[in-house]
Amino acid sequence: MTKPIIAIPADIRVLDGATWHAAQQQYIQAASNVAGLMVMIVPAMGDAYDLDAILDRVDGVLVSGSASNVHPSLYGKEATEADGPFDPARDATSLPLIRRAIDRAIPLLAICRGIQELNVALGGSLASEIQEQPGIWDHRKPTTPERDAMYVIRQSVFVKEGSCIARYIGPGEVQVNSLHRQAIATTAPRLQVEATAEDGTIEAVSVIDAKAFAVGVQWHPEYWAETDLPSRRLFEAFGDAVRDYAAGKAAATRAPLKQSAL
Ligand SMILES: N[C@@H](CCC(=O)NCCCC(=O)O)C(=O)O
């Protein structure tokens, strides 16, 4: 059987003076090698593209991390320069894509910037420069050019008993990496908190009334998905949910054909 396809909304990047619609290799590799999926990068074209037509052709959505921040105007805050860098074209694509995927019961995995987009898409807000708040740790990307060192597993999160992700990675303490300076401030009404860090930072959420896998994590399971068990299990769970969705869609397409053949 052909592997199901998932959509990854692109970042806008400028390389050598040209504008690119880009997605990082680490997400594509984890989705392909661990979840067993194929990836389609969705250009950051906002409402110039019919996002439902794109969702008709895929079986899941993976919203990746990125150095840019969701524009504060999208959660009712005035932007300062310190809130940047921004990527309004990605916001204009990923936020409606997230909302439509949830409405259509299409599996969704949202990572780092992705969990922040999921929260804003559903009406929540973000806090910036969280390391400056009293009692909050420094969750920022380690300063090193070495990618393995940037993404090193160095922080505990506590997964809630009975949460959605506890089914895959167990409840209790899990070791993760951390590369962010923003975090969820007000949790969107449709989200439940699945895991927190010891300093109270929200580390994972799920959509309460979702009809499919709809999970966001503040850490980066994609980076170590081939070698770290909790990271692998999250990607495998997403892959299974995507395959279930694809199988359901294929069965629904076959059913009317069978009837008309009678
Ligand atoms: N706005 C966010 C971004 C967090 C995030 O997705 N980090 C990944 C960084 C990857 C990179 O730098 O390439 C925040 O800082 O909280």
CB of 66 sitting under 6 A from ligand 1 = yes
pLDDT of the residue at 260: 56
From CA 85, how far away is CA 62, in angstroms rounded? 21
164 is catalytic: no
Give the H/E segment covering residue 217: strand 214-217
Provide φ and ψ at 225, rounded to 5°.
Answer: -60, -25
DSSP for 34-89, please give it: IS--EEEEE-S-GGGS-HHHHHHT-SEEEE---SSB--GGGGT----GGG--B-HH
From CA 72, how far away is CA 125, in angstroms rounded? 8
From CA 191, how far away is CA 242, in angstroms rounded? 20
Residue with tokens 């940037």: 150
CB of 210 sitting under 6 A from ligand 1 = no
pLDDT of the residue at 80: 87
Q: Which CATH architecture has domain 5-261?
A: 3-Layer(aba) Sandwich (3.40)
From CA 116, how far away is CA 58, in angstroms rounded? 23
pLDDT tens sequence for the chain (262 residues): 699 999 999 999 999 999 999 999 999 999 999 999 999 999 999 999 999 999 999 999 999 999 999 999 999 999 988 789 999 999 999 999 999 999 999 999 999 999 999 999 999 999 999 999 999 999 999 999 999 999 999 999 999 999 999 999 999 999 999 999 999 999 999 999 999 999 999 999 999 999 999 999 999 999 999 999 999 999 999 999 999 999 999 999 887 665 555 5
Please write down the long-range contacts of 156-161, taking CB distance under 8 Å and 24 or more positions apart.
156/197, 156/198, 157/195, 157/196, 157/197, 157/203, 157/204, 157/219, 158/195, 158/196, 158/197, 158/198, 159/194, 159/195, 159/204, 160/193, 160/194, 160/195
Tell me which of 112, 139, 164, 180 is the catalytic residue: 112
Q: What is the ipTM for the molecules in this complex?
A: 0.97
Residue with tokens 């979840």: 35
CB of 182 sitting under 6 A from ligand 1 = yes
CB 97 within 8 Å of CB 42: yes
Residue with tokens 């990068």: 41
Atom of ligand 1 nearest to the CA of 24: 13
Q: Give the three-class secondary structure for 191.
A: strand
CB of 114 sitting under 6 A from ligand 1 = no
Q: How far is the CA of 140 from the centre of ligand 1 (A)?
A: 8
220 is catalytic: yes
| pTM metric for this prediction | 0.96
Beta-carbon-side half-sphere exposure of residue 230 (alpha carbons within 13 Å): 20
Q: How far is the CA of 14 from the centre of ligand 1 (A)?
A: 17
Residue with tokens 């899941």: 60
pLDDT of the residue at 216: 98
Per-residue CA distances from 12 to 92, 112, 222, 239 (Å): 12, 17, 20, 26
112 is catalytic: yes
